[in-house]
Amino acid sequence: MGALQAAFAAGTTDPVALLAALRERIARHPSGRDAVLAPVPGAAAAAEESARRIRAGAGRPLEGIPFGIKDIIDCAGAPVTCGSRLTGDRVAEADATVVARLRAAGAIPLAMLATTEFACGSAHNPRYGSVGNPWDRTRWTGGSSTGSGAALAARLMPLALGTDTGGSIRAPSAWCGTTGLKATRGLVPRTGVAPLSWTLDHVGPMARSAEDLARVMPWIAGPDDADPHAAGRYDASRARGLAGLRVGVAEGWFTAMQDAAVLAAWQAMLRVLEHGGARLVPVDLGPVATAHQDGYTIVMAELAALQEPDLDRAAGLDPGTRARMDQGRLFSATDYLRALRRRPLVLAQVLAALGDVDVLVTPGLGGEAPSLDTLTVEVDGTAHPLQAVLPRNTMLFDYTGLPALMLPTGRGRTGLPVAAQVVGKPYDDALCLAVGAAFQRETEHHLGAPPEAG
């Protein structure tokens, strides 16, 4: 995004030419057929307006930057279907707050992007099909912001919006070699975003670098008048350099079920941070397994409650959605309330463990992207079910609401991206991004691109 803004300022290209080039790429690239669901009306007129503003020296902060939108986030005039056959041909009447804020900053809504059904279904979406990973189209991108991850990796657009309830911004970012931020809970309003779990849903940006995310966050963060959970402000002053930074290193839960190549890339990242002046500090976050399961209890119980009006049409749901909804209906009120009651206790426990550090850096996902055929992830040569690996290091931070940045750290055994996660204290989003940007200035993992489709 920084390079695009510099090119706009220099006059070597403009938003109109960029939009035309991206549309042409979307039309010919395989990811344009599965990651991109529909164009957003009015993009051409918006690009012309942006070009006029730039020529007049009146550009806004994100002037002319095209972005994609996960298909559970409303964009006025565009089809927003939540990846479900049950929603028919729904067209959004108004922008979600996050879309409206990006428009106000000059960014251009370009396309609606694929999601799993209601952000919780299987990789094989019954309405639109599956989304292949641009690095290897026999592999998945990871859900549920599946189109956002693929579109960014395929260079179909420089910015996308995703949501994260158990890891759905961070998983596609890890497996597509891109960079995504699950912001502090409530920092980005959820108004106009279809809910999966009103307790754990987060909205956040996805791009190809932490610097790009830092450009975006000030313009989408902060409460609105409609989302009762929205709170806090993005505080760029919390960013700082690596010198003297205390980096927490947790093992146990976070390093189990991790391929050796993922661990090696994580350890290499820690060495880069240490070389830049950071100090590595062992931390123990306590028993994580119960909190991990409590997160899923909340998600599935709230999903079941939200989808209850459609029980008579459940046969039309993706089997993955239906299975989670059915499981959610089996939880008792006591199960659900116990999971909610433990949440502030776990947050206090985690914050106490992080009391002597500035950020926590963990391995990302346990292996490279899973096969679309088997939906298994290989860890040290053994295939494991997707759900045993994908959310292991992500769900805790949805449950506690802490900011978490996923960024690429190298390649795995078969040459596909692997990643690590930078976690901060509440509203330390800018610090997480600063750590990610410092790492990316010293490495080139985020610059890697998939092979061009034939």
Which secondary structure element, helix H or strand E, spans residue 264, and what is its range?
helix 260-275
Q: What is the mean pLDDT of residues 368-380?
A: 97
Write out pLDDT tens, residues 303-345: 999 999 988 999 999 999 999 999 999 999 999 999 999 999 9
Residue 6 burial (C-beta neighbours within 10 Å; 0-12, 13-18, 19+)? exposed
215-233 residues labelled b (16+ CB within 10 A) or e (exposed): bbbbbbbbbbeebeebebe
Question: Measured between alpha carbons, how far is residue 178 from residues 170, 223, 398 in Å?
Answer: 9, 27, 20
Q: For 73, which DSSP code?
A: B
Measure the CA–CA gap between 451 and 328, rounded to whole angstroms: 41
Q: What is the mean pLDDT of residues 214-230?
A: 96
Tell how strand 132-133 and strand 136-140 pair up. antiparallel
User: Which pLDDT band, with edges at 50, 70 and 90, does 217 fall under?
Assistant: very high
- Decide if pLDDT at 28 tops 60: yes
Percent over 70 (pLDDT), the chain: 100
Dump the DSSP string for 240-259. Answer: --STT-EEEEE-GGGTTT--
**Per-residue model confidence (pLDDT) at position 198:** 97
* Residue 68: strand pairing partners: 111, 160
User: In the chain, where are the structural domains located?
Assistant: 2-447
Question: Considering the entire predicted model, what is its pTM?
Answer: 0.98
Q: 346, 33, 408, 64: which is closest to 207 by C-alpha?
A: 408
Measure the CA–CA gap between 76 and 42, rounded to whole angstroms: 10
Active site residues: 70, 144, 168
**Per-residue model confidence (pLDDT) at position 454:** 55
**Is 408 strand, coil or helix?**
strand
By the 8 A CB rule, do 354 and 431 touch? no
**Is 210 strand, coil or helix?**
helix
Cβ neighbours of 345 (radius 10 Å): 10
Residue 385 structure tokens: 């079910």
**Is 283 strand, coil or helix?**
strand
Q: What is the mean pLDDT of residues 447-452?
A: 95
Write out pLDDT tens, residues 385-405: 999 999 999 999 999 999 999
Dump the DSSP string for 292-359. Answer: HHHHHHHHHHHHHHHHGGGGGGGGGS-HHHHHHHHHHHHS-HHHHHHHHHHHHHHHHHHHHHTTT-SE
Q: 249, 117, 183, 120: which is closest to 398 by C-alpha?
A: 183
Answer yes or no: CATH 3.90.1300.10 is held by domain 2-447.
yes
Percent over 90 (pLDDT), the chain: 98
Measure the CA–CA gap between 59 and 106, rounded to whole angstroms: 7
